[in-house]
Structure 1
């Protein structure tokens, strides 16, 4: 979401699109350690089902 927002895309639309993709199972959203603070950072990866040819 932040990467798209910095490029000029709407933060709200980016957030909605990411959640739609996650709800459909196209992507997975998970937490990773944040070396710069106490709050975890969200990471996104393509679901294993979609990665198959």
Structure 2
């Protein structure tokens, strides 16, 4: 399993926590059995936002 690195970025008066996965590691990872993997263009990042009491680590 590929683990993300955790970091923070300060924007105006907000401190945002984010997790980032290394796309190079993901591309070199051996897919698990019965896992369908399609080759897509990874040039565009996906941003997932959460709120309330949820965290990116759960």
TM-score (norm 1): 0.27
| Greater per-residue helix proportion | 1
TM-score (norm 2): 0.26
The structure with the largest alpha-carbon Rg is 2
